[in-house]
Amino acid sequence: MNHTLKNKCALVTGGSRGIGAAIVKRLAQEGAHVALTYTSSQKRADETVKAAQAHGVKAIAIKADSADAGAVVAAVAQTVKEFGGIDILVNNAGVLVVGPLDAFSLADFDRTLAINVRAVFVATQAAVKHMQDGGRIINVGSCNAERMPFPGGGVYAMSKSALVGLVKGLARDLGGRGITINNVQPGPIDTEMNPASSEFAGMLRKQVLALPRYGRAEEVAGLVAYLAGPEAGYVTGASLTIDGGFNA
């Protein structure tokens, strides 16, 4: 690795497992000090922290539910306190609730928007107060912002589509400071919550994906690392899909 992020300070929400953990590890591999948030398993969070520290950087875990706006703001403040600043914010925490329209509860609707949309805005608003010019904000959205091929996913798709508009607008707000903000939109990725070995995955590989395989969390992390690095300084307001041709 070229350590393109050496001595940068990053916060990754929902960073204890899956795509989030892969992002934490990749940013650490590139030389960044990394804080991650988690909601339930401290063991998993500690394991990810240890893996990041193996690259010779500082890493910490912060328990914070992204549905709680106050906890999100506090996580940003703790990151700044521990590291002396924040250069990179990765809004990765998300929730997926699928269900038919006539049975979808308002509580699930509100929680989806609180985590997938409001927390992104809240964390971004808090982080930019501490960012130097040239900072990076990366949201982990979904290819479902552009295509929802099965019933029951309308609320989730809406929440991820909201991020597309958000980065377009905030790119204008932050461009004068050289701060970029972008979405990464994964397709089917092999994680515990969406394993490549499932029956559903088999259908996708045969009928939907241009590349007949699930993606790896490390591949998503690589795109995030690119957007966080110096070579992506002219990329902002964009939604970059990494989906094996799901939306092709």
Residues labelled as active-site residues: 156
Cα 65 to Cα 116: distance, rounded to the nearest angstrom:
12
* Long-range contact pairs involving 41-46 (C-beta distance under 8 Å, separation at least 24): 41/16, 41/17, 44/16, 44/17, 45/15, 45/16
Please give the single-letter amino acid code of residue 76.
V
Cα 196 to Cα 248: distance, rounded to the nearest angstrom:
20
Closest to 143 in 3D by CA, of 58, 247, 64, 53: 247
* 131 DSSP assignment: P
Between the alpha carbon of residue 155 and those of residues 40, 151, 160, the distances in Å are 24, 11, 9
Closest to 228 in 3D by CA, of 19, 1, 8, 2: 8
Q: Which two tokens stand for residue 111?
A: 């929680």
Backbone phi and psi for residue 62, each to the nearest 5 degrees, phi listed first: -125, 120
Q: Which two tokens stand for residue 156?
A: 């989730």
Contacts of 150 by beta carbon, 8 Å cutoff, 6+ apart: none
